[in-house]
Structure 1
Amino acid sequence: MQQDEVRHPAELVAFARVKAGDVVVDVWPGGGYWSRLFSTVVGPKGKVVAYVPAEITGFKSDPLALAKAISTEAGHANVEASSYPLAEQPGADMAKKVDVVWTFENYHDLHDSFMKGADVNAFNQAVFKRLKPGGYYIVADHAAAAGTGLKNTEDLHRIDPAAVKAEVEKAGFVLDGESTVLAVQGDDHQLKIFDPAIRGKTDRFVLRFKKPSP
């Protein structure tokens, strides 16, 4: 598959340390590529939560309907669609019960105006509370030029990895690893990710954060 060629699923699943029996939250699943993949990896004893932020449920693509449809497919009954505001804190049924939280190419969008003033810090804190001690939070996104911080999240759809690290570590996480499997040399970080010259060939970073054990 073409998506496999640009997403390197085997390498990233290994990097995320997703395994059989895990509970995985796929934040903003889009078409469901990663939710379906994680569903197969975690198996019947595991669970995948395809989480659609309430802030985007009104999109024309109907992302919540797309997420709900995954569980109706053969082999993916362990996928559960979920939607609530980004900053909502977990109830007792979810607190400290998640092994991996994953977000792919969408973290930068959490800062954009169409997210209706979403509080990214509150979201990261909610992720922290959902994860088990020792659990992982994986953020993959399009890289902005070093030192630009959050400047290009809306116009170029890019984010400085250093800004992500600062925000996520503020919530209590520890940076546990970085993968360069999606890195692309020569990407002009000043171009919008949809520019035909680089679309599908952007420089992307992958960060693994860990919730410390007590």
Structure 2
Amino acid sequence: MRQTLTVLAMLTTAVAFTSVAVGAPQTHRHAIHEATSAATRTPANLARDKYRHPAETLAFFGVEPDDTVVEIWPGGGWYTEILAPLTLAKGTLYAAGPWPNGLKGVQTLQAANPAVYGKVKLAAFPWAEGQPKVADGTADAVLTFRNVHNWRMGAGRPDKADYSAEAFAQMFAMLKPGGTLGIEDHRLPEGASAERERTSGYMKVSTVRRLAEAAGFRFVAASEVNANPKDSADWADGVWTLPPSYRLKDVDRAKYEAIGESDRMTLKFRKP
């Protein structure tokens, strides 16, 4: 009997640990699964789940259906197709990007399916005076996928100046105390030259942590859910050599297709 109780205790502990490890209770993981399986997702985006692991990533970040979520630089709306149905009934989703042209992808989704995307609020990021913004201290979660390298490279700035510190400060301001910052980005090996962060599209984990912690965030955890050991991160044309960009077009395409999308860090921070 004692042995049976011991085994049951061990199983209970294992289940509890699993729930904590993925970052979301069972009910929220179910809601995330439903959102990633939404019929409104485009087939081309669904095909990339094997590289991007959206259900596991959002569970790790602990995103909940009733959260106020800010998606920073949503691009064509790959994650918006998941976050919009996830937050549709009980939560709020902001899409924040370069104002106004950086949000065309989300606006296209809104025009095509207002029932699912019509509630998504649009805001400027980085924000400047006179532009719509996410009010300070209102977000439960701020998420950005493969974008920190853009700010480090000065994307969108005529002088290509690094504005990553400014970006992290603005994300910190958006969050409520206790709110989560979730970051996924292409991972540069720690031993590589830091100069490669300015040209390759890859970032060191240590750099991202330094930027976040300088803005006031506290590091919570890292996940290897988006790791890809096949990616050496030393391509002459940077991360865009790999899918989905295929910068070299048909040159060695089969080779890069076999490697898959980039090796990525997945980091969780909290605003104290």
- With normalisation by structure 2, the TM-score equals 0.69
Deviations, residues 135-182 of structure 1 (Å, cap 9, x unaligned): 011110111121446422342210111100011111110011111011
Structure 1 match to 2:136? 95
Which structure has more RCO (C-alpha within 8 Å, separation ≥ 6)?
A: 1
Offset, 1:82:
2.0
- TM-score after normalising by structure 1: 0.86
Amino acid at match of 1:193: V
1:29 paired to 2:29: no
Name the structure 1 match of 2:13.
Answer: none
How far residue 18 of structure 1 moved from its aligned partner, in angstroms, is 1.1
1:83–1:93 Cα change, 3 Å: closer
Contact 2:217–2:269 (CA<8 Å) still a contact in 1?
yes
Amino acid at match of 2:149: H
Identical residues among aligned pairs (%): 27
Contact conserved, 2:95 with 2:106, CA < 8 A, in 1?
Answer: yes
Separation in 2 of the partners of 1:139 and 1:164?
A: 9
In structure 1, the partner of 2:65 is 20
Structure 2: segments with no counterpart, 5+ residues: 1-45, 242-252
Q: Deviations over 1:57-101 (max 9, x none)?
A: 5xxxx53222223333132222122224x2648999711110111
Q: Select the structure that is richer in helix.
A: 2
Matched, 1:67 2:127: no
Q: 1:105 to 1:33 in 2, by over 3 A?
A: same
Counterparts in 2 of 1:28-67, with a 5 A limit?
A: 28-54=73-99, 62-67=101-106
Match of 1:156 in 2: 200
Counterpart contact for 1:100–1:131, Cα < 8 Å? yes
Q: Which has the higher strand share?
A: 1
What code does the residue aligned with 1:21 have?
Answer: D
C-alpha distance in 1 between matches for 2:207 and 2:195: 10
Match of 1:83 in 2: 124
1:141 aligns with 2:201: no
What's the offset of the Cα at 1:44?
2.4
Q: Which residue of 1 aligns with 2:262?
A: 202
> How far has the Cα of 1:9 moved from its partner?
1.0
Q: Measured at CA, do residues 93 and 183 of structure 1 come closer, stay the same or move farther in structure 2, by a change above 3 Å?
A: closer
